[in-house]
């Protein structure tokens, strides 16, 4: 019996790849923490502690409240000034950047997704043999897909940084374009998957009626894939708002700009206040996008 | 080591979900070691009746007694102890696809282990435990699958894993909710025969819900016909008449007259 | 007309249509707010020159330093790229491993499926459990709020905060990644646990298993595949985040990328970009292969 147990145990199906991946991950983690590449001990050194204490007890306290002159009314008017003035203006700009960017990303991904989907971008769309196709179609798909991989692998922040050099700093385009390109590529991939996962039946019957590629796209693919696609879309909107906040630190006028400004002046109290405002905007966007997704799920 | 079989006694049981009644005024006595099948159209209350037997459903009124002990209102620990003696093969089997067969079967005794002791077999199974599991699987003809992942098995094989889990539990009662629903006719007969044989060998009380009335009539000792939450008939299989069945399955419209 | 009859009336637009229309209007309003001129989206005279330089750089990425003002003790460019890439990975690994710990703990506390069971329990027992449930519900709510707050601040803003509080130390970069990523992992993990099919949970409860056993046997293994696939995907994101942390002075690839770009050494910029792309591409290949193995339905 125990011989048989051993034999069965040896013959059990298992994935070397998963085990090897887990081992590599574990070893890397252990090495990173043990080798001293991350100065975790330094965190507790007297200098860091001093720094931390000063930050918490002095720098981050609103300046009218510091020291003897504990001025609560002054603190209120200071917070109102910061939040109501540039804070509000920058918050609106942040949301606006994210909204324009996600709309452009939607348009971009709507163009890219059919070109990357193996069931559509082929000489005989949606037919059972689809997926291969002539080399020209295959090359097209490959190029679109590779382009999307590149666009989504470059962080938005780097993209915006490079665009800023090319387009100049006096308008929001670098941030908008960086977000639109990055998210367009991500949504394009998800959209292509949504298109490829469509039930082939209805599309084939359209094809059987002699519909052209364009009318199949307009009448079949887009309406059918839209539901799943929109779920991703609103999920990305939240991410866009989060990123739009930060892109300001490069010099575009969103919240990040004033955060960076306060930071450069060492006004840490103001910086904290603005980061809090950014957090509120992101939470609001999170709420909006989850409401939109629930609204979509609960009916057509 | 097999636990003694267990009997049930249902008295005046009503179950209501919200406004609708799932069971009405059910009286039923099930002797230890008996084999009983609930039959009837879908929505008749078969699954609810099974749920009463392990306290997953509590009656709105009436009592369910297991060897004289009222299942409702028991403290959680006592209820767990009782449940650990009641095997269950749910309709959807309740197996974990990405665990191995051995682990799924070992889960059968979780009811008898403490919180921490219950975790050990998941990570490391003792040789003795594995031998025991392998013996059960061999009886069911799937011994070679001991270390396979459940989601790589066929429907019939999964069914057997669920049976093996209940056997490993060493329960006195076995509840099986539509155990044949996912199987083709040949496999269904084979599985039912297997369940009956197992129950006979172990001396288990076996309570099933079945929608295949012909198979039930052919193989199961006692049939309880349920319709719209009421017991329509309760007879030995040789006494079930065609009239009973007509009454059981007659169309909804005819019912309103009476 | 009452509100109900209004709601019941068939609307001329589907839900999707209404959402899309709303989005379009919002985008138009946002466009107007920002005062975006379409002509500005194209580079001007100076911009075109930079763009040309930049695109030329793509075809011939630098293998040695571009400028002549290289300090004598600087390592060869490729060694610098490799070092920067390595440190990028180190921060990402450390940040993600820390956030995994946070994510698993808070994800467990933020899920309700292990304590809120759907059995039609008898009233007596339900009453007996009510105080425990109230405590668990309170814990659940406070954990969800914590998770939302952790997530709502971008990792770069956490970095800015931690730079101010602690100064430039590699550990602050690690925490800056670990906090928002921990929140995101916790949110997704708890959703995965809650969305697991309940049949196993019910069947294990039915044979008398305790809450902890039900969680460990019935829920965790089921969600494990999705959870590890998602964690790996987040590692890819962590590498990108760790790269841009370099813009704030940490020695990852973003630091050198920024230096080179500010010196208009676009061929060097491309060397860094290509290195980052290769790393992310490699991880993406790895993760898609892993996903195929672990997420089996």
Residue ending a domain, choose from B170, B198, B218: B170
The answer to whether C296 faces chain A, any CB pair under 8 Å, is no
pTM: 0.86
pLDDT at B169 over 60: yes
Contact residues of B toward A, CB < 8 A: 100, 127, 130-131, 134, 144, 146-149, 152
Q: Which among A1, A5, A13 is the nearest to B148, CB-wise?
A: A13
Q: Are residues B75 and B187 in the same domain?
A: yes
Residues A235-294: tens digit of each pLDDT: 899 999 999 999 999 988 899 999 999 999 988 989 999 999 999 999 999 999 888 888
Residue ending a domain, choose from B170, B200, B231: B170
- Domain containing C135: what range? 77-294
Which band of pLDDT confidence, cut at 50, 70 and 90, is reported for residue A138? confident
The neighbours of chain B, by the rule of 3 or more Cβ pairs under 8 Å, are A, C
Q: Which among B103, B119, B169 is the nearest to C207, CB-wise?
A: B169
Q: Which among B130, B149, B152 is the nearest to A5, CB-wise?
A: B130
Q: Is C214 contained in some domain?
A: yes
> Rounded to 5 degrees, what angle do the CA atoms C180, C186, C189 make?
140
Q: Are residues B2 and B80 in the same domain?
A: yes
pLDDT of amino acid B187: 84
Q: Are residues B254 and B154 in the same domain?
A: no
Q: Are residues B78 and B188 in the same domain?
A: yes
Q: Is C143 contained in some domain?
A: yes
Q: Are residues B118 and B183 in the same domain?
A: no
The neighbours of chain C, by the rule of 3 or more Cβ pairs under 8 Å, are A, B
Q: Are residues B182 and B79 in the same domain?
A: yes
- Domain containing B52: what range? 1-85+174-258
B238: domain CATH number?
Answer: 3.40.50.300
Give A96's contacts in chain C (Cβ within 8 Å).
29-31, 33-34
Residues paired with residue B69 on neighbouring β-strands, in sequence order = B66
Rounded Cα distance, C216 and C230, in Å: 19
Q: Which among A1, A8, A13 is the nearest to B149, CB-wise?
A: A13
Q: Are residues B47 and B66 in the same domain?
A: yes
- Chain B residue nearest residue A3, CA to CA: B131
Go through the domains of chain A in sequence order and give each one's CATH number: 91-297 (1.10.3720.10)
Q: Is C53 contained in some domain?
A: no
Q: Are residues B229 and B114 in the same domain?
A: no
The answer to whether A165 faces chain B, any CB pair under 8 Å, is no
Residues B15-59: tens digit of each pLDDT: 888 777 888 888 999 988 899 999 988 888 898 999 988 888 888
pLDDT at B237 over 90: no
Q: What values do phi and psi take at B23, rounded to 5?
A: -140, 140
Q: Are residues B151 and B115 in the same domain?
A: yes
Q: How many domains does chain B have?
A: 2
Q: How many domains does chain C have?
A: 1
pLDDT averaged over 10-residue windows placed end to end, chain C, 297 residues: 46 76 92 87 86 89 82 86 95 96 93 70 72 88 94 94 88 94 95 86 88 86 88 94 94 94 92 94 89 68
Give A1's contacts in chain B (Cβ within 8 Å).
131, 134
Q: What is the 3-state secondary structure (H, E, C) of C22-86?
A: HHHHHHHHHHHHHCCCHHHHCCCHHHHHHHHHHHHHHHCCCCCCCCCCCCCCCCCHHHHHHHHHH
Q: Are residues B251 and B184 in the same domain?
A: yes
Query: What are the CA-CA distances from residue A130 to residues A85, A119, A192, A297, C264 (Å)?
Result: 58, 6, 15, 31, 47
Q: Is C229 contained in some domain?
A: yes
The C-alpha of C129 sits at a distance from chain B's nearest C-alpha, in angstroms, of 9
Q: Is C235 contained in some domain?
A: yes
Q: Do A51 and C91 touch (CB under 8 A)?
A: no
Residues 25-84 of A with CB under 8 A from C: 28-29, 32-33, 37-40, 42-43, 47-48, 51-52, 55-56, 59
Q: Do C120 and B58 touch (CB under 8 A)?
A: yes
Nearest partner of A59 among C272, B1, C37, C162, judged by Cα:
C162
Q: Is C10 contained in some domain?
A: no
Q: Is C9 contained in some domain?
A: no
ipTM above 0.90, yes or no: no
Q: Is C22 contained in some domain?
A: no
Q: Are residues B66 and B165 in the same domain?
A: no
Q: Are residues B255 and B210 in the same domain?
A: yes
Give C222's contacts in chain B (Cβ within 8 Å).
96-98
Rounded Cα distance, B188 and B192, in Å: 6
C263: domain CATH number?
Answer: 1.10.3720.10
């Amino acid at each position: 019996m125990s011989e048989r147990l051993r034999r069965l145990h040896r013959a059990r199906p298992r994935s070397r790849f998963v085990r090897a991946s887990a081992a590599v991950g574990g070893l890397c983690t252990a090495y990173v923490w043990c080798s001293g590449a991350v100065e975790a001990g330094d965190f507790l050194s007297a200098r860091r502690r001093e720094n931390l204490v000063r930050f918490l007890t002095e720098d981050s306290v609103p300046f009218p409240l510091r020291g003897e002159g504990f001025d609560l009314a002054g603190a209120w008017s200071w917070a109102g000034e910061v939040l109501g003035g540039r804070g509000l203006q920058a918050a609106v700009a942040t949301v606006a950047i994210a909204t324009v960017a996600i709309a452009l990303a939607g348009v971009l991904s709507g163009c890219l997704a059919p070109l990357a989907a193996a069931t559509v971008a082929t000489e005989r769309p949606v037919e059972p043999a689809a997926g291969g196709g002539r080399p020209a179609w295959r090359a097209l798909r490959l190029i679109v897909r590779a382009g999307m991989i590149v666009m989504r692998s470059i962080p938005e922040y780097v993209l915006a940084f490079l665009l800023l050099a090319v387009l100049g700093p006096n308008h929001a385009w670098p941030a908008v374009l960086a977000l639109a390109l990055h998210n367009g590529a991500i949504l394009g991939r998800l959209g292509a998957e949504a298109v490829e996962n469509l039930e082939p039946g209805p599309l084939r019957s359209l094809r059987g009626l002699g519909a052209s590629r364009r009318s199949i796209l307009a009448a079949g693919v887009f309406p059918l894939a839209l539901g799943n696609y929109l779920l991703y879309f609103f999920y990305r909107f939240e991410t866009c708002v989060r990123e739009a906040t930060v892109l300001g630190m490069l010099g575009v006028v969103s919240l990040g700009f004033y955060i960076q400004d306060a930071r450069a002046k060492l006004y840490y109290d103001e910086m904290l206040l603005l980061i809090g405002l950014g957090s509120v905007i992101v939470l609001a966007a999170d709420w909006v996008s989850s409401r939109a997704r629930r609204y979509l799920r609960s009916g057509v | 080591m097999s636990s003694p079989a267990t009997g049930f006694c249902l008295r005046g049981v009503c179950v209501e979900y919200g406004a609708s009644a799932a069971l009405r005024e059910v009286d039923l006595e099930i002797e230890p070691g008996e084999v009983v099948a609930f039959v009837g159209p879908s929505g008749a209350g078969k699954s609810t009746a099974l749920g009463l037997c392990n306290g997953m459903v509590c009656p709105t009124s009436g009592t369910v007694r297991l060897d004289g002990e009222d299942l409702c209102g028991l403290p959680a620990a006592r209820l767990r102890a009782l449940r650990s003696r009641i095997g269950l093969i749910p309709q959807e089997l309740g197996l974990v696809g990405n665990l191995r067969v051995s682990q799924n079967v070992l889960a059968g005794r979780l009811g008898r282990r403490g919180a921490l002791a219950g975790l050990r077999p998941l990570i490391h199974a003792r040789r003795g435990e594995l031998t025991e599991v392998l013996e059960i699987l061999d009886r069911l003809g799937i011994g070679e699958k001991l270390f396979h992942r459940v989601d790589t098995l066929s429907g019939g094989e999964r069914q057997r894993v669920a049976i093996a889990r209940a056997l490993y539990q060493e329960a006195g009662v076995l509840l099986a909710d539509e155990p044949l629903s996912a199987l083709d006719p040949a496999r269904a007969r084979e599985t039912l025969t297997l369940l009956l044989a197992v129950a006979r060998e172990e001396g288990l009380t076996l309570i099933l819900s079945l929608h295949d009335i012909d198979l039930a009539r052919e193989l199961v000792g006692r049939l309880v016909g349920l319709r719209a939450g009421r017991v329509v008939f309760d007879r030995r299989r040789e006494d079930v008449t065609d009239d009973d069945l007509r009454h059981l399955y007659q169309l909804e419209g005819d019912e309103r007259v009476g | 007309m009452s509100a109900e009859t209004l709601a019941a009336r068939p609307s001329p637009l589907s839900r999707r249509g209404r959402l899309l229309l709303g989005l379009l209007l919002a985008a138009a309003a946002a466009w107007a707010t920002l005062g975006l001129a379409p002509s500005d989206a194209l580079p001007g005279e100076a911009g075109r020159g930079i763009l040309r330089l930049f695109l030329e750089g793509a075809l011939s990425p630098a293998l040695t330093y571009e400028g002549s003002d290289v300090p004598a003790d600087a390592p060869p460019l490729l060694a610098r790229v490799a070092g920067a890439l390595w440190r990028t990975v180190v921060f990402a690994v450390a940040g993600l491993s820390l956030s995994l710990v946070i994510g698993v703990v808070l994800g467990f506390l933020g899920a309700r499926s292990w304590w809120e069971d759907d059995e039609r329990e008898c009233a007596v027992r339900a009453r007996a459990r009510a105080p425990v449930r109230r405590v668990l519900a309170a814990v659940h709510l406070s954990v969800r709020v914590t998770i939302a707050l952790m997530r709502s601040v971008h990792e770069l803003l956490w970095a800015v905060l931690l730079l101010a509080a602690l100064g430039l130390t590699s550990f602050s970069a690690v925490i800056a990644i670990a906090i928002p990523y921990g929140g995101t992992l916790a949110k997704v993990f708890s959703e995965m646990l809650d969305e697991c099919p309940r049949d196993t949970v019910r069947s294990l409860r039915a044979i008398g298993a305790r809450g902890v056993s039900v969680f460990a046997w019935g829920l965790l293994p089921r969600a494990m595949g999705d959870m590890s696939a998602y964690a790996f995907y987040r590692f890819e994101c962590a590498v990108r985040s760790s790269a841009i942390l370099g813009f704030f002075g940490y020695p990852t690839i973003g630091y050198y990328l920024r230096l080179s770009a500010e010196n208009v050494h676009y061929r060097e910029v491309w060397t860094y970009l290509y290195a980052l792309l290769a790393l992310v591409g490699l991880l993406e290949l790895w993760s898609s292969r892993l996903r195929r193995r672990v997420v089996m339905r």
